[in-house]
Amino acid sequence: MINKLTEKIQKTGAPIVVGLDPMLDYVPKQIQKASFAEYGETLAGAADAIWRFNKEIIDATYDLIPAVKPQVAMYEQFGIEGLKAFQKTVDYCHGKDLIVIGDVKRGDIGSTSAAYATGHLGKVLVGSQICSAFNEDFITVNPYLGTDGIKPFVKVCQEEKKGLFILVKTSNPSSGEFQNRLIEGKPLYEHVAEKVAAWGEECMGDSYSYIGAVVGATYPEIGKVLRQVMPKSFILVPGYGAQGGKGKDLVHYFNEDGLGAIVNSSRGIIAAYKQETYARFGAEHFADASRQAVLDMIADIRGALEGKE
């Protein structure tokens, strides 16, 4: 799957991923009204509204991008109905030949970790049938429990040719409380990055590993260091746009081949119509606003990378 990701980035010229993280207040009133008319003001109605919202954004952007990243918590808040919308979103994106990065941030040990890996990336035996559940292509994983927590995920990735993005240095303001602590003269995030590189050696594609890392856009100097520590790991970069990251901040996350990183924007794209820049589209044409936000993001990152050269 890492080979497909690099190929789609090269084909689209867009090293970006659209974060499908829908809050209900992002969904225009006309969509909410239609869903509530059919299902009532219920969890099912809310889930239907976010599904309809997602579908229009996917339809408006799929030809521009290589991948999407649905954040499972935004669906779980609506219970089982929300998870059904998550599954529909994953399946619909696959139908559009998009790579799906499930932002699930799982992390545990033993059979629990194996079950998470199976549910999101692998297959499960049900009687005489082998079934897939959520069936994402990559997922995000929390490494806090160490190698015991990662190995079951790596095993499924090896079997299914799928991948991981392991949290290394996150974009939130308090990440440094733990991640920046010095251990043997180096911050903790560097130690984690070294383990990501080592785990990745077991799962190599043609040029990059199936085991990648999450490094926030809000720490460009750290990104520069970690790019060197993990030369064969793809870096998933959150924090663009709404959290302050710009294209010029991201150039050192990429390798000299112009690959090695994929930048996420969530509400900056899916709720673009709420921004002053895209207000001209209005709520009726929210998906067109999202498409324009994608085009602007591509131009920003492409311009920064060309300037690097």
Beta strand 186-187 with 182-183: parallel, antiparallel or unpaired? Answer: antiparallel
Q: Which residue of the set 105, 123, 155, 274 is catalytic?
A: 105
- Residue 105 bears catalytic tag: yes
Rounded Cα–Cα distance for residues 19 and 42 (Å): 25
* Contact partners, residue 47, CB within 8 Å, separation at least 6: 75, 78, 81, 82, 84, 85
**Among residues 148, 198, 192, which one has the least CA distance to residue 169?**
192
Cite the active site residues. Answer: 105
